[in-house]
Structure 1
């Protein structure tokens, strides 16, 4: 839950700057799921998504971009790594 909150806060903080820099970014669908069971299905329907581990689960999180598994993040830096992937995705997809 904390990881999902951290990612959501980052997205909320970045969106105003992204809207100025990247026309169309407001249509970006980002799935931040706190469940590795339902998360992959939900993430596949978003432009980019992550299925975060629940409490007590192994720290690994599949990341989907454009409906396909992109990578699986592992360990204690999942949030930091996903934010870097998200920034790169936004920059690549919505660059003028």
Structure 2
């Protein structure tokens, strides 16, 4: 089992620990879980984990928000804001 096969723990504390977004008419939920951003389907099935181990100091995600039009996700790591955007799936 790889490290990202299971989401452990709860959402990070704070008012902005999750957000709802949309990509091509499909809704998703982005959640701040430790140093990671977990992407969940509307039925809470895990879709993707964006690992936070790339951050310089192992900081946790303090806030996350999504754009309902573009599907972009903004995540705050300490004093850094990272923007993630959806990519086309391989067909």
TM over 0.5: no
When the two structures are superposed, what TM-score results if normalisation uses the length of structure 1?
A: 0.30
Structure with greater helix share of residues? 1
When the two structures are superposed, what TM-score results if normalisation uses the length of structure 2?
A: 0.31
